[in-house]
Structure 1
Amino acid sequence: MNPVTPSTGLLWVKRGFILFRQQPAEMLTLFFTYMFIVMGLGLIPIAGEFLPLMLIPVFSMSFMQACDQIENGVKVYPNLLMLGFRSEALGRLLTLGIFYVLAVALAIFVSSLVDGGALFDFLSSQKPIDPKVAPDERIFLGMLVAVLTYLLPLMAFWFAAPLIMWKKMSVGKALFYSFFSVKRAGKAFLLYGAAWMLIAGILPALVSVMIAVIFGDPIVVMLTMLPMSALLTTILYCSFYPTYLDIFGKPEISIQA
């Protein structure tokens, strides 16, 4: 494991933008294809409630591998999304996905102890959200508690998938190394997270206000924010790769789809 300085966290964000800029259309195509698959999975009765979450480790390796290919000058194609399913590590990645589901369930359960289940009701509600009705203030408390509860599992999950697939670690070993690697580079991750909260929070807010002032139409605002959200999310995914690269080095196994 390579040591990193606190300022490295800001470089991870910058390098995410650089990676995206090299193949923007390809990465956006990969992202939208992934979203289409996730929406399809969500239509499956019962299983659709947890399958998208369980498959995050499998699909996340598609984006990690895509960034590796960009660095190597290899073009990225949507079929890269099937990479994890063809890997000998699929079983371990699915096991990791089960831990994802359990961790999220735990976070929501803990939040329900302080918000009376308001967050769970909000997430599970099938009713359309009325923008004129202010959300129950308990939901924000529940979200805060859920996020804080999920922080420790997130540290264990952060590098687990690439360690399983690229370094052929067991699930337990990958979770262990991921947790302590993130802990060791804690200051860099704090800056990294803070930078992304500013980018994903303030930038869309400023743009939405400008569009609202210019057009005065909430539909135009929504149509503007959706592609911006997709763009920023894709760049965020690209920034995951440099965090791995600076701590564990170049992937030993480079698999092309």
Structure 2
Amino acid sequence: MMNAVDAASGWGWVKQGFTLFGKQPAEMLTLFFAYMFLSLVIGFIPFAGRFLPLMLVPVFAMSFMQACSQIEDDKRVYPDLLLTGFRSEGLLRLLSLGVLYVLAAMLAIGLSSLADDGIFLNFIFAMTPEDPETLPKGKLFLGMLVAGLVYLPAMMAFWFAAPLITWGRMSVGKAVFYSFFAVQRTGLAFTVYGLAWLLIGVFGPTLLGMITAAVVGQVAIGLLVMIPVSLVLTVVMYCSFYPTYTTIFGRPDKPQSETPQNPEMPPG
């Protein structure tokens, strides 16, 4: 049986993310910047650099999940946690999950071409990057919207998959299956969670930057305020992923051989 989750849980996850980050902010920022740097380096690999960062997302995701688990246990977070997923016995399954990430993203972007005549696809994969200002704004936005809607079911299937593989020792197929239905059955909580992060993580820094620019009289100063605030909120959001898992599946403090509670499956 899946643990009971109501709409208010979505806001609770956001608050728990701030609490976890607040306990070790410097350590979590260090872990995040190490991840960003390594992803940037991987991105320079010819051709493969376009896909590897996305393929490795499930592997690196376990770094932040494990870091939050240690913070909850009052243990210090160190940069070497970035290798958590690589040390896991489920590494091959995490990499297989990463391949599904790439395939789902390619499918979503490819289908968006039916709505925007391939503008978003060309923007993503063009060998020579185009200036966004020269692109048709309406069609680019439409392509992004269609890609996002197509990718939504995949996002639901991937949300809990990495920790279910690593901590629950599930197969890729089983983890994806349980993740999808766990998110589907707690849809109201995730709606609140998503809207909260939209307001806090997107509109919040933008509004703060605009106010700062208006007070100081310089747009550049507003941008200088927005960037660090956005980075900190991104790390807080990463921290909030952990309570979405523990609320539904419980803390990962069980023996490795014990599978976490499975969400209740819909009839039929």
- Per-residue CA deviation, residues 133-175 of structure 1 (Å, 9 max, x unaligned), is 6752101111111111011011100000000000100000000
- CA shift in 2, pair 1:134/1:5, >3 Å: same
Distance in 2, Cα, partners of 1:56 & 1:254:
25
CA–CA separation in structure 2 for the residues paired with 1:129 and 1:71 = 44
Partner of 1:75: 76
Partner residue, 2:260: none
Query: Which residue in 1 is equivalent to 2:245?
Result: 244
CA contact (8 A) 1:115 1:142 kept: yes
Distance change in 2, residues 1:134/1:76 (3 Å): same
1:127 CA drift (Å): 3.6
**Aligned-residue offset at 1:130:** 6.3
Structure 1 residue 129, shift from structure 2 partner = 4.1
1:96-116 alpha-carbon deviations (Å, 9 max, x no partner): 000000010011011111001
Q: 2:18·2:239 contact (CA, 8 Å) conserved in 1?
A: yes
Query: Aligned partners of 1:172 and 1:35: how far apart in 2?
Result: 29
Q: Report the equivalent of 2:34.
A: 33
Mapped to 1, the partners of 2:110 and 2:129 lie a distance apart of: 22
Question: TM-score scaled by structure 1?
Answer: 0.94
1:199 is paired with a residue whose SS is helix
Equivalent in the alignment of 1:210: 211
1:3 deviates by 1.7
Q: CA deviation at 1:223?
A: 2.6
Letter in 1 for 2:113: S
**Letter paired with 1:190:** T
* Structure 1 unaligned blocks of 5 or more: none
Find the counterpart in structure 1 of residue 45 from structure 2. Answer: 44
Q: Cα 1:247–1:198, aligned 2, differ >3 Å: closer, same or farther?
A: same
Residue identity (%): 56
Q: Which residue in 2 is equivalent to 1:146?
A: 147
TM-score by length of 2: 0.90
8 Å CA contact 2:115, 2:142 repeated in 1: yes
Work out the CA distance in 2 between the residues paired with 1:254 and 1:10: 30
Number of equivalenced pairs: 254
- Structure of higher RCO (CA pairs closer than 8 Å, 6+ residues apart): 1
Rounded to whole Å, the distance in 2 between the matches of 1:89 and 1:38 is 21
1:15–1:242 contact (8 Å) kept in structure 2: yes
Structure-2 separation of matches of 1:134 and 1:113 = 17
CA–CA distance in structure 2, aligned partners of residues 22 and 49 of structure 1: 35
Task: Please tell me the residue identity of whatever aligns with 1:27.
Answer: M
- Tell me if the contact between 1:118 and 1:136 (Cα under 8 Å) persists in the aligned partners: no
1:68–1:254 Cα contact (<8 Å) kept: no
Measure, in 1, the Cα distance between the counterparts of 2:237 and 2:223.
21
Q: Shift of residue 118 of structure 1? A: 1.2
1:221 aligns with 2:219: no
C-alpha spacing 1:127/1:254, structure 2 compared with 1 (3 Å): farther
Specify whether residues 120 and 73 from structure 1 end up closer, same or farther in structure 2 by C-alpha distance, changes over 3 A only: same
CA deviation string 1:13-57 (max 9, x = no partner): 010001000000000010011000000000000110000000000
Contact 2:42/2:52, CA 8 A, preserved across alignment: yes
Specify the alignment match of 2:266 in structure 1.
Answer: none
* Residue aligning to 2:102: 101
Counterparts of 1:1-257 in structure 2, within 5 Å, are 1-125=2-126, 126-127=128-129, 129=131, 136-252=137-253
The one-letter code of the counterpart of 1:14 is K
**Structure 1 residue identity aligned to 2:193:** Y
